[in-house]
Structure 1
Amino acid sequence: MIFMGFGFLATFLVRYGFSGSGFNVLLAAMAIQWAIMMNGFLLPQRQYRREIHISMKSVIEAELCAASALVAMGAVHGKTNPVQLLLMALVEVTGFVINQWILRTLLHADPVYSIMLLHIFGALFGVMVSWVLHREGINPKHEKEKTDRNTGLFAMLGTLFLWMFWPSFNSALVYHRWERELKLTVIYGTYLALAVSAVMAISVSMLTNSKGKMNMVHIQSSALSGGVAIGVAMTAVHTPWIAMTIGFFASLLSALGFRYMKDHMLFAFECHDTCGVINVHAIPGILGWFANLILRLASSESTIAMRFAVYQICVLLITVCMSLVMGTATGLFLKWSFWRPQQDRKCFDDQAFWEFPHLVVKK
């Protein structure tokens, strides 16, 4: 999912396929290594206080942290150079691990729940970086910000990788033997949410088009929104119809956001979100948080329910504030001319970073 799913999905731009897949490998590999170190420093295991212990669990947690960095990268896709992306990934992973440390230390949050907030944190972080780095040259739409048949097919291949393996993504940290039943419940619920979101994404795309045609971009992204939403609420979902309902509303909001919200964000807030991560990750993630809150309150007594509601709201507020503040600071840091930001005419173009032997002019 990290290397093939996100990698192929990032190739949708017609002249940014090399950079989309290549930079994805660079960021993912670097972010995983950095996340292992940061988790070891801030979230050490009890039996390994003075050393960073490498295990399957620590590697999986590091890859989930790397996923949050790749989500953030989607908001600035095509508008930054590799150095800026590396710095952004390092800061994002650091901020996300610090956010987990705050939630687990101060609020005693469940480790699985705190790490599954990666969608909300990564999306809002990336959107704030994109907002700070906004330039008039890509307004209203850059001439190279388009797709074609080949890039759309490769991006759909990435969607299929993510769609197929998302149940294992959500259930990766549910690993104890006595949690086997919960693990299977998470897998089944994630699959059902994804299935409903795929159908809903296609339906909304057709219904909102004047000619009744489907938009491949909507399907590539909105079909995954159910997996995002159910991931945040997975420990509270125990029946199939609830998982399907969450997938239904997540895909509905995501597809409508792609159809109407992206252009309005650029017009009203001067925020250019290339991959629409706010529609795929932030909104479904918040929907999953809200579903988790409602399901927990419905099964609790009034006094306990009130305390849990305050607790959940604090968790979300801390995550949102951390992502917004660190995203803004990172954007200001990356805006320095020292990092040699891309010129407007070189945005969304591979030739700024990659060799093309067949285009070399021999003197």
Structure 2
Amino acid sequence: MVIFGFGFFLTFLKRYGFSSTGFILLIVVLGVQCSVLVEGLLVLLLQRENEDGLKRITKAAVSMTAVVISTGAVLGKTNPVQLILMTVVEIIVFHLSRWINNTFLQVPDNISMMHVHLFGAYFGLAVSSRFSEPSPRSEKNSSTPKSDLLSALGTLFLWVFWTSFNSVLAVNKSKAIYNTYFALAVSAVTAFMLSALTTKDGKFRMTHIHSAVLAGGVTVGYAAHSIDYPWIAMILGLLASVITILGSYCLQRCLNPALKIHDTSGVHFTFGLPGVLGALAEVVLFIIKNWTNLPRLGYSVMIHLGAFCLTISLALIAGFITGLVLSFKLFKTTPVSKYFEDQFYWEFPHLAVGF
């Protein structure tokens, strides 16, 4: 799911297909190894119980989702060395964030793992803020029907397997699968409906479908194991799709130009905003379920909100520092004229025929 799904999910740029799939494979296989080593180091230092090998590699692969999401924000602007350094730093800081949440805030392990969407989106945005913006008229920063089709293939693959992503570490797997499917289904229907309503000619726009059909799965991931009724998951899927499509208009026209952040694949409204909605929805559902236990309710709510704020804060701080380091001349930053260009890194014996 992480290698194939996200690899093709990020192939929407017309001249960056080789790099999107190839670099994703490189950083995922590297990041999984790094994650397993960091987890083993924490077990050794904190004298925790050693987990089963299969579970460790599963958690490492899920953790890598954060790095892949961050890569989407800087897609086409970083070289392989910068991506490798970003992968190592982000994995270490994400494990630090989870350790603080698990140890001091007593957040369950499966919930802290679902913070990958929040952490990845805001880490990537912070890193991207330190890179030069491409020209708004850049011909390479666009898609073709062929690249959109490949990206849609990755989206469909992720949509089909997102239920396994939300349930693999859940305590109640059947309930997590059930709720994730309904959230994804409703977000897909809403995406098509809103896409037709928000375009002048009433036609579907692939960028809307590309970003909004997964939003329900991102949002419901925080509480998928504990939702008792499918209509709650459906409402979350509806809200997630709405906030993704409407957020894309607001962020691209207002916020991103003001902050001078170029988000190549729109990870903020594809994963960041649905992740915020999911974290808040988890708090609301927790309050509803524990309404009778008022003395401890306020403290528990503050713990949940604290974990949510801590994750975003660490992601922004670490991402900003990482972006500063990556912008040093030592790492041979890609010139703006070579952004979104496969030929800067890959050999083309046919001399770019077909570009």
Assess same fold via TM > 0.5: yes
Give the alignment of 1:110-189 within 5 angstroms: 110-133=108-131, 135-136=132-133, 138-174=134-170, 179=171, 182-189=172-179
Amino acid at match of 1:217: T
CA distance in 2, matches of 1:141, 1:87: 30
Q: Is the 8 A contact 1:129 1:330 kept in 2?
A: yes
How many positions carry a matched residue from both structures?
351
Q: Distance in 2 between matches of 1:2 and 1:107?
A: 29
Shift of 1:170: 0.5
1:141 to partner: Cα distance? 4.6
Q: 1:83 is aligned with what amino acid?
A: V
Query: Cα 1:360–1:109, aligned 2, differ >3 Å: closer, same or farther?
Result: closer
| Displacement after TM superposition at 1:25 (Å) | 0.3
**What corresponds to 1:350 in structure 2?**
342
SS of the aligned residue for 2:222 comes to helix
TM-score calculated relative to the size of structure 1: 0.93
Q: For the Cα contact (< 8 Å) 2:107–2:304, is it kept in 1?
A: no
Contact 1:171-1:186 within 8 A present in 2 as well: yes
CA distance in 1, matches of 2:241, 2:278: 12
How far apart are 1:268 and its partner, in Å?
0.9
Query: Aligned partner of 1:17: which letter?
Result: G
Alpha-carbon spacing, 1:201–1:110, altered in 2? closer, same or farther (3 Å): same
Residue number among 331, 345, 355 corresponding to 1:339 in the alignment: 331
CA contact (8 A) 1:140 1:266 kept: no
Query: Structure 2 regions of 5+ residues with no counterpart?
Result: none
How big is each residue's C-alpha offset from its partner over 1:312-347, in whole Å with a ceiling of 9 and x where there is no partner? Answer: 111111111100110010000001011011111110
Q: CA RMSD in A?
A: 1.8
Contact map agreement 1:75 1:276 (CA 8 A) in 2: yes
Output aligned runs, 1:200-349, within 5 Å: 200-300=190-290, 301-349=293-341
Contact 1:236 1:292 in 2 (8 A): no
How much has 1:109 moved relative to structure 2? Answer: 1.1
CA distance in 2 between partners of 1:45 and 1:212 (Å): 59
Amino acid at match of 1:204: L
1: distance between equivalents of 2:57 and 2:46?
17
CA contact 1:69–1:122 (8 Å) conserved in 2: yes
TM normalised by structure 2 equals: 0.95
